[in-house]
């Protein structure tokens, strides 16, 4: 009887050890499989991010190929229509062309470079305006801002708003005006453009055109939730206001 007891005891110990060994083996296998799945998911996630990045770059390049010739045409038309101011226009045009040819190929430029470009573009467009026309330009640029000379600004962002204002204003109407306000303060860029819209050339048509769409696409792809664009039309006055939180975007670039 005592022998049978020890046999049963040893058998139960064997069963227990075997069960523990089996559970341990299964646990190790499942843990290994879980790690493999996590690694595969990580690789897939990285691949998806790379594909999305490449797609965005291709889309941005495609937008650029459409934007630059359109900009050249508008600038040259302005210069040609006022030959008596050719010298000044060509001087500004040289600055604009340098920027388009050399800086716009970069993914980012500094706010300083983009603002200098925007001011030159405005001066070129101003040559077709009567000196008595109500044109208002105001800039409040904090040159001591930490991001003033940092490569954090997508080039040619300011083109669309400036071009639309000049393109869709009736310069002969008595109450017509163009107002451009640019600001860089506390690492936030703001640009507000208002104008009395011409009844002969509706802004509603332009809003469905390439320029407006390309700007919206670029802002969304580049700055995502770090920007806000608002457009409104009231009593014939069209206003577009763009605000980009360059500080938040710069911090994300640094730590991502």
pLDDT, residue 66, reads 54
Q: What is the pLDDT of residues 146-200, one digit of tens each?
A: 999 999 999 988 988 998 888 888 888 888 999 999 999 999 999 999 998 876 6
Backbone angles phi, psi at 136, to 5 degrees: -120, 125
pLDDT, residue 101, reads 74
CA distance 215 to 193: 15
pTM of the model: 0.65
pLDDT, residue 97, reads 75
pLDDT, residue 126, reads 82
Q: What is the pLDDT of residues 116-131, one digit of tens each?
A: 989 988 888 887 777 7
pLDDT, residue 138, reads 92
Can you give the residue ranges of every domain in the chain? 64-255
Decide which of 3.40.50.2300, 3.30.565.10, 3.30.450.30, 3.40.50.1100 is the CATH code for 64-255. Answer: 3.30.565.10
158 SS3 class: coil
- Mean pLDDT computed over 222-232: 92
The residue to which tokens 């639309």 are assigned: 164
CA distance 130 to 125: 11
């Amino acid at each position: 009887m005592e022998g049978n007891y020890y046999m049963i005891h040893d058998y139960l110990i064997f069963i227990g050890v075997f069960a523990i060994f089996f559970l341990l083996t299964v646990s190790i296998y499942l843990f290994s499989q879980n790690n493999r799945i996590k690694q595969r998911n990580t690789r897939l996630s990285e691949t998806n991010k790379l594909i999305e990045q490449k797609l965005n770059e291709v889309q941005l390049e495609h937008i650029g190929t459409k934007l630059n010739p359109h900009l050249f045409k508008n600038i040259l038309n302005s210069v040609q229509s006022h030959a008596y101011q050719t010298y000044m226009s060509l001087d500004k045009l040289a600055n604009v062309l340098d920027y388009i040819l050399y800086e716009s190929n970069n993914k980012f430029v500094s706010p300083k470079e983009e603002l200098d470009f925007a001011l030159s573009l405005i001066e070129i467009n101003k040559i077709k305006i009567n000196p008595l026309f109500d044109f208002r330009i105001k800039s409040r640029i904090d040159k001591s801002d930490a991001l003033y000379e940092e490569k954090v600004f997508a080039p040619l962002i300011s083109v669309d708003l400036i071009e639309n204002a000049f393109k869709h204003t009736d310069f002969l109407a008595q109450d017509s005006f163009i107002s451009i306000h640019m600001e860089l303060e506390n690492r936030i860029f703001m640009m507000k453009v208002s104008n009395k819209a011409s009844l002969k050339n509706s802004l509603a048509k332009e809003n469905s055109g390439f320029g407006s769409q390309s700007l919206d696409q670029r802002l969304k792809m580049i700055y995502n939730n770090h920007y806000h664009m608002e457009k409104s039309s009231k009593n014939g006055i069209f206003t577009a206001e763009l605000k980009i939180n360059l500080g938040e975007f710069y911090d994300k670039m640094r730590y991502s």
